[in-house]
Structure 1
Amino acid sequence: MRRVSLFSTLAAAICLSGLSAQAAGGRYVHPADRAEERIIPMYGNLPACEDPAVLGAITSRFNSREANFWGPLQAVSFDRVRPIAWRPWGDDFIPRRFCTARVLTNDGVLRRVDYSVRENLGLFGYTWNVNWCVSGLDRHRSYAPDCKMARP
């Protein structure tokens, strides 16, 4: 008959209980540290990737930036819109929805656009905001290489 020590049983119980309380990143997040429990709570009430307000915000800002700084390039339409990740770093970070799509520009070229919809990062922290990068048009290399830093 095999005897199991109290120490090994206790160690196994601690490991198993820790696995059930881990966040997306594989680390433990105490329930009181979740974004929903902050002084100004964040509930993750974000629009979907294909929401017209989200795509409209990207179109408006892209067209404005191109017209003011780079030339006549304009976004015309989006297709293949799909989510990539939802709160990939865990429940204690600002809720973010990561998405990707293709944007058709007025020069007839389809380009990949990576974007994230982020809670409480809009005007004065009262609403959601969109952070985006169009592949091949990151001229200042803010999200280099090839918009990788705009993805999770």
Structure 2
Amino acid sequence: MGAKILVSTCLAVVATALTVADSRAATPRCDDAAVVGSVESRFSRNNRQFLKIDLSIADFGIIRETGFRPTDATHRVERRFCHATITTSDGLGRNLWYLIESTWGFAGLGSSVEFCTDGLDPWHVYGARCASLR
């Protein structure tokens, strides 16, 4: 009898852990290759198109998660906030802030990524020093 209770308890703990992991799995990790690749290619394109400068990401340094907001009754989009140190093609080290949102991809499928680099947002689209993505 005691073994059955122990097994039931263990299964309940595992199920809870899997539920938490599944929730976080909806949004890719900050260091996910597809996320980093998207930021890298869009960074160059956006700088050429909007700032009229030829600037690209030469290297990603440390990438870390700075926040996570799971879905709940009032927030239907899971959000993962990230920070990376980057070196740009001009040799400067910069702070890159980005946000990964689940279910905000094309037609509500997949995820979307918004990003901002300190000093490269002259219109403060993301607030002063990329505040809304921190």
TM-score by length of 1: 0.66
CA-CA distance at 1:91 after TM superposition: 2.5
1:78 maps to 60
Q: Deviations over 1:82-122 (max 9, x none)?
A: 0111117x633111111111111000011101111100111
Residue correspondences, number? 110
Higher percent of residues as helix: 2
Normalized per residue, the structure richer in strand is: 2
Q: Could you tell me which residue of structure 2 aligns to residue 57 of structure 1? A: 38
Give, in whole Å, the separation in 2 of the partners of 1:117 and 1:78.
17
Compute the displacement of 1:69 (Å).
2.8
Please give the alpha-carbon distance, in whole angstroms, between the structure 1 residues aligned to 2:101 and 2:127: 20
User: Pairwise mapping of residues 116-127 of structure 1 onto structure 2 (< 5 A)?
Assistant: 116-127=99-110
Question: Separation in 1 of the partners of 2:105 and 2:58?
Answer: 24
Larger Rg: 1
State percent identity of aligned pairs: 33
Give the TM-score, by structure 2 length.
0.75
Matching residue's letter, 2:114: N
Q: Return the alpha-carbon distance in structure 2 between the equivalents of residues 63 and 81 of structure 1.
A: 19
Unaligned runs of 5+ in 2: 1-22
Q: Any runs of at least 4 consecutive aligned residues in structure 1 with deviations exceeding 2 A, and if so which?
A: none
